[in-house]
């Protein structure tokens, strides 16, 4: 085989040093473990016809728990489209809020005793339609004592706006199969100042100095089409809010152990580049902080389409405790042999790797 042909083959099968994917997911290293990141489910929840797609995604996680050594699932908020409406309008959904919350709860329930899943709240999980106030039905449908696997890693909760400790603001300790320690903090949509301060104090505790910190919050940064900038302002009615740029300044940058941030929220209909993003900066401990936005709700017909074509992210944590391989996959497309060739997004912004600290 001549060198030109070999170079061509390599360029076809590699993106950013990672094999281009096809077929069903496999671990790059049999000793790795996996985290699955689910983007905003709201457009699956709001239409009755779409709800089975999200259910397929969580059932795929259950089915592949052993094969991919899935140890954690993170969901980036906006579990529903409307937190508290009595009737869908038939345009932006045909389901009322009880039906939406029930559907997303049923989808996650298959994981209750299988794998811990960590949720955060988005703007649509508050108020009536979108963060008119800080009332959320999350705790009515996701009370911690019903989530057996999640409760096994839950170590504390901070109060919501009504003073009740719920999963809206919660923190979790997880020890990986490689004995790496993680502290995951889930924050409410545009967290209040008191919550940011409490989270800062928790993360700074001596017992967490050797943990790798992860922040899960709904709204934080914009997509690569907007240069991955941190969000400075949004037009919601809520008072006492901390937007992405301030969250970086007040919580993430001053830390010595936060190394990853996951968020959703933003989106557009112009292409994947309007729905994904990545930025990398150092915290006060001189550790790289890998910040990722991933949403998919407009893929599959726009804002009123099928909810997001089943896209999710597979993060493979390698045995070296540093390398994380990130892939973007759709169980929906993979469900049929006739569409499995469309089940992977292999562009550099959807298939890449990062390095955590030693």
Q: pLDDT tens for residues 166-188? A: 999 999 999 999 999 999 999 99
Q: Which residues of 158-196 are buried (b: 16+ CB within 10 A; e: fewer)?
A: bebbeeeebbbbbbbbbebeeebebbbbbbbbbbbeebb
- Can you give the pLDDT at residue 19? 53
Give the integer Cα–Cα distance in Å for 326 and 257: 21
Rg of the chain over all Cα atoms, to the nearest angstrom: 19
Beta bridge partners of 137: none
- Can you give the pLDDT at residue 20? 66
- Can you give the pLDDT at residue 55? 98
Averaged confidence pLDDT in the chain: 93
Class of domain 21-355: alpha beta
Write the CB contacts of 213 (distance below 8 Å, at least 6 apart in sequence): 182, 183, 184, 185, 203, 255, 257, 258, 259, 260
- Three-class DSSP category at 342: helix
Residues of the chain with pLDDT under 50: 1-17
Q: pLDDT tens for residues 39-81? A: 999 999 999 999 999 999 999 999 999 999 999 999 999 999 9
- Can you give the pLDDT at residue 18? 52
> Nearest CA to 76 among 301, 358, 276?
276
Beta strands in the chain (DSSP E): 14-15, 18-19, 33-38, 70-75, 117-119, 154-159, 165-175, 181-186, 212-216, 258-263, 276-282, 288-294, 312-317, 323-329, 344-345, 352-355
DSSP 333: H
Between the two ends of the chain, the Cα-to-Cα distance in Å is 40
- Cβ atoms of 252 and 284 closer than 8 Å: no
Q: What is the pTM of this model?
A: 0.94
Write the CB contacts of 56 (distance below 8 Å, at least 6 apart in sequence): 310, 331, 332, 335
């Amino acid at each position: 085989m001549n060198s030109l042909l070999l170079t061509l083959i390599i360029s076809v099968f590699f993106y950013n040093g990672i094999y281009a994917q096809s077929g069903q997911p496999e671990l790059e290293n049999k000793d790795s473990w996996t985290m699955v990141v689910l983007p905003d489910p709201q457009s699956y929840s709001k239409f009755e016809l779409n709800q089975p797609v999200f259910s397929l995604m969580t059932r795929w996680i259950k089915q592949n728990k052993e094969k991919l050594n899935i140890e954690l699932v993170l969901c980036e908020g906006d579990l529903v489209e409307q937190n508290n409406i009595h009737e869908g309008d038939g345009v932006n959904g045909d389901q009322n809020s009880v039906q939406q919350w029930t559907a997303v709860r049923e989808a996650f329930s298959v994981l209750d005793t299988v794998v811990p899943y960590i949720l955060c709240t988005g703007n649509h999980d508050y108020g009536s339609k979108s963060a008119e106030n800080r009332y959320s039905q999350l705790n009515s449908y996701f009370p911690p004592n019903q989530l057996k696997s999640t409760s096994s890693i839950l170590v504390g909760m901070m109060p919501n706006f009504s003073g009740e400790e719920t999963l809206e603001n919660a923190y979790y300790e997880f020890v990986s199969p490689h004995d790496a320690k993680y502290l995951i903090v889930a924050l409410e949509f545009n967290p209040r100042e008191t919550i940011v301060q409490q989270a800062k104090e928790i993360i700074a505790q001596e017992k967490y100095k050797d943990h790798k910190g992860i922040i899960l919050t709904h709204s934080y940064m914009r997509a690569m089409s907007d240069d991955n900038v941190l969000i400075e302002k949004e037009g919601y009615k809520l008072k006492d809010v901390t937007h992405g740029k301030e969250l970086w300044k007040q919580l993430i940058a001053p830390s010595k152990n936060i190394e990853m941030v996951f968020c959703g929220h933003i989106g557009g209909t112009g292409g994947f580049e309007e729905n994904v993003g990545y930025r990398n900066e150092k915290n006060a401990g001189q550790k790289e902080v890998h910040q990722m936005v991933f949403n998919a709700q407009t893929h599959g017909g726009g804002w009123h389409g099928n909810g997001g074509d089943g896209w999710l992210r597979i993060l493979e944590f390698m045995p070296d405790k540093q390398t994380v391989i990130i892939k973007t996959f759709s169980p929906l497309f993979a469900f049929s042999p006739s569409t499995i060739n469309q089940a992977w997004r292999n562009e550099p912004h959807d298939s890449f790797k990062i390095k955590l600290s030693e």
